[in-house]
Structure 1
Amino acid sequence: MTDTTMQLLSQGTDPVKMPDFDILAEGKTLSGVAERLMSLSLTDNRGFEADQLTITLDDADGQLQLPPRGARLTVLIGWKGEPLTEKGTYIVDEIAHEGPPDRLTVSARSADFRDEFNVKREVSWHDVTVERVVSAIAHRYGLKPQISEMLMDIEIDHADQTEESDMSFLTRMAEMLGAITTVKSGNLLFIMPGGGVNAQGQPLPSFAITRSSGDRHQFRIADREAYTGVRAYWLDLNYGKKKKVSVKRRKPPKPKKEKSSSRE
């Protein structure tokens, strides 16, 4: 054991965590993937844009079989020695093979998003609450509604959904109320962003990220002088109108020239 290792142990420094993962195909763990994995990328998108999964595997020996399109992959990620966190189920929609060196790239999209989400409908909503609208649309697709408490009882006097998909209508309604809406893990979310609470209003757990939490970091400072002001929009629920507030950056006062006390 080296002197450096002994020093770290004596200081009680935690060893660097090693990432871990598991991939299930149709509910069964894929064997031999860890030895072939070159990269695994998960993209968690906001709104009604499907989350994306991309897996690249080494196929130098040519023994990999191409997975069928439409196969369901479930991904779990985390740290070695700790319980893994499930990150959803994805449907394979694209397969690519290239080389040399030979490699197989599998792309998949979130199973939460379906083609019927894009079906345009004719619906007239009258004297309803946000909770009733979101719940009705969630029930149509077999989803569980998750709505922020502060949004549930907001009344909608009248709203027309004319040749518009349910997801487009929900997005439009969310923008009017300053909320966000999306589908995650079988739940239709209609929540307020940035509040630090979940859909039930309970505070989210905090987690401190330190330099030792990862193997690299990036820090950037923007030139704030390039901005002359900021403009924000808000919805006046009393009148149903969108209003704006603008604040301009104050210019620093020019230094006054000192007057000379001597006379020429």
Structure 2
Amino acid sequence: MKPATHPQVDYGITVDGRDITRKIDPRLISLTLSECRGGEADQLDLVLNDADGMLALPPKGALITLKLGWVGQALVDKGSFTVDEIEHSGSPDQLHIRARSADMVDTLKQRAEKSWHGQTLGDIVGEIAGKHGLSPRVDNRLAKVEVDHVDQTHESDLNFVSRLAKRYDAVATVKKGHLVFLPINGTRSSKGELLASASISRADGDQHRFHTADREAYSGVRAYWHDPKKAKRRGVLVGLSGNAKRLRDTYGSEADALAAAKAEWQRIQRGAATLELTLALGRPELIPQTPVRVSGFKPAINAITWLTVKTAHTVSDGGLTTRIELETADSKSDDGKVEDVQADDAAPEASE
């Protein structure tokens, strides 16, 4: 009987178009790619052995591309990254290179001021995308949502569009020249393709951590808006009133307040259970937003449909491992109801 063979990690790295994979392979101490759902740029960390002092420091702004996988299989394209931090330490001498997703346009981080009135999410995201030379990709349903009023006050476009995404329980990110705005619980990718779900068995991993919080800690969410017809502050409630979380902001319309309350209620429900997994055999195809089903755990854990929040793929002496953070994908909200604000509701305590 032939001895079992273990999969061998494989990767490809270029710097400014030059393939340096074989050059750095004998020097590689670790490679870690951290991917987030939205707002934050994906981050690539390379730690290289420079005991002989022969490594040149890469220039800031250098463009790194990464492909990751296993020998004998097609490598997964993990994107492009711009070098923005370099550290040399010793002894023993090591070079640490940190690069962040090249998709993040620097101008997105510049502060701006603007008020938006009666425009759809599609219009707003489209205008911001065009301003930075990006193409918008907005979910069809979200694109039609009308925003009564929202202010951008001394705030970067990146922060503003991320805040807008949070209000509508969406994810906003930049991918390959597109400003993407999609619902968190959506079933399609930024290209409009159906997201393939992943199956993970307990046998695939070394470690896991399941945590459940009291879903009943909050019974619902209240948000507030100013009703110009009645010249008074009013509220909307999603869920039940018993121990409802109250949002701090006062919104410009009933529709805006209701959208914010629904989004927060869905976030609360998704956070009711979390699962962290470290996979001994890395799965580089796993990315944030991937739906996941698990098996081999407790029945209550296996029964949950999970949604990927963060991934970290690491190459080291131990091969290729993947760490993923999951939250429950099951979140829903009712249509909500309008309330007149009572005296004890005058001071909402929670931020959006």
Q: Could you tell me the TM-score, scaled by structure 2's length?
A: 0.59
For residues 79 and 234 of structure 1, what CA distance do their matches in structure 2 show? 49
Matches within 5 A, 1:52-67: 52-67=43-58
Match among 203, 217, 238 for residue 206 of structure 2: 217
Match among 257, 264, 278 for residue 241 of structure 1: 257
Do the aligned residues in 2 keep the contact of 1:198 with 1:204 (CA within 8 Å)? yes
Do the aligned residues in 2 keep the contact of 1:16 with 1:212 (CA within 8 Å)? no
For residues 34 and 149 of structure 2, what CA distance do their matches in structure 1 show? 36
User: By percentage of residues, which structure has more strand?
Assistant: 2
Cα distance change, pair 139–239 in 1 and its aligned pair in 2 (3 A): closer
Which residue of structure 2 lines up, in the alignment, with residue 44 of structure 1? 35
For residues 142 and 64 of structure 1, what CA distance do their matches in structure 2 show? 36
Do the aligned residues in 1 keep the contact of 2:105 with 2:132 (CA within 8 Å)? no
For residues 205 and 118 of structure 1, what CA distance do their matches in structure 2 show? 32
Cα distance change, pair 220–123 in 1 and its aligned pair in 2 (3 A): closer
Which residue of structure 2 lines up, in the alignment, with residue 196 of structure 1? 187
Say whether residues 1:21 and 2:11 are aligned partners.
Answer: yes
Say whether residues 1:75 and 2:75 are aligned partners.
Answer: no
Do the aligned residues in 1 keep the contact of 2:112 with 2:154 (CA within 8 Å)? yes
Mark the structure with the bigger radius of gyration: 1
Flag structure 1 segments of 5+ consecutive residues without an equivalent: 9-14, 248-264
Q: Which deviates more from structure 2 when the two are superposed, residues 197-206 or residues 93-102?
A: 197-206
For residues 19 and 173 of structure 2, what CA distance do their matches in structure 1 show? 29
Paired AA for residue 14 in structure 2: L
Q: Could you tell me the TM-score, scaled by structure 1's length?
A: 0.76
For residues 16 and 207 of structure 1, what CA distance do their matches in structure 2 show? 22
Match among 90, 96, 100 for residue 105 of structure 1: 96
Which residue of structure 1 lines up, in the alignment, with residue 81 of structure 2? 90
Which residue of structure 1 lines up, in the alignment, with residue 177 of structure 2? 186
For residues 14 and 37 of structure 2, what CA distance do their matches in structure 1 show? 25
Cα deviation 1:140-159 (Å, max 9, x = unaligned): 11122121122011112333
Match among 223, 226, 230 for residue 217 of structure 2: 230
SS in 1 for 2:199: coil
Identical residues among aligned pairs (%): 38
Cα distance change, pair 144–212 in 1 and its aligned pair in 2 (3 A): farther
Q: Which deviates more from structure 2 when the two are superposed, residues 124-133 or residues 68-77?
A: 124-133
User: What is the root-mean-square deviation of aligned Cα atoms in Å?
Assistant: 2.8
Q: Which deviates more from structure 2 when the two are superposed, residues 120-129 or residues 75-84?
A: 120-129
Say whether residues 1:177 and 2:168 are aligned partners.
Answer: yes
Query: How many residues get paired?
Result: 233
Flag structure 2 segments of 5+ consecutive residues without an equivalent: 224-235, 237-252, 270-352
Do the aligned residues in 2 keep the contact of 1:147 with 1:200 (CA within 8 Å)? no
Which residue of structure 1 lines up, in the alignment, with residue 139 of structure 2? 148
Cα deviation 1:182-214 (Å, max 9, x = unaligned): 22232211111133322465421133233565x
* Cα drift, residue 22 of structure 1: 0.9
Cα distance change, pair 54–200 in 1 and its aligned pair in 2 (3 A): closer
Paired AA for residue 62 in structure 1: G
Which residue of structure 2 lines up, in the alignment, with residue 258 of structure 1? none
Do the aligned residues in 2 keep the contact of 1:128 with 1:155 (CA within 8 Å)? yes
Paired AA for residue 209 in structure 2: R
For residues 110 and 221 of structure 1, what CA distance do their matches in structure 2 show? 30
For residues 189 and 210 of structure 1, what CA distance do their matches in structure 2 show? 31
Do the aligned residues in 2 keep the contact of 1:128 with 1:156 (CA within 8 Å)? yes
Do the aligned residues in 2 keep the contact of 1:56 with 1:104 (CA within 8 Å)? yes
Paired AA for residue 85 in structure 2: E
Match among 111, 119, 122 for residue 113 of structure 2: 122
Do the aligned residues in 2 keep the contact of 1:24 with 1:75 (CA within 8 Å)? yes
Give structure 1 regions of 4+ aligned residues with deviation exceeding 6 angstroms.
234-237, 244-247
| Larger RCO, structures 1/2 (Cα 8 Å, 6+ apart) | 2
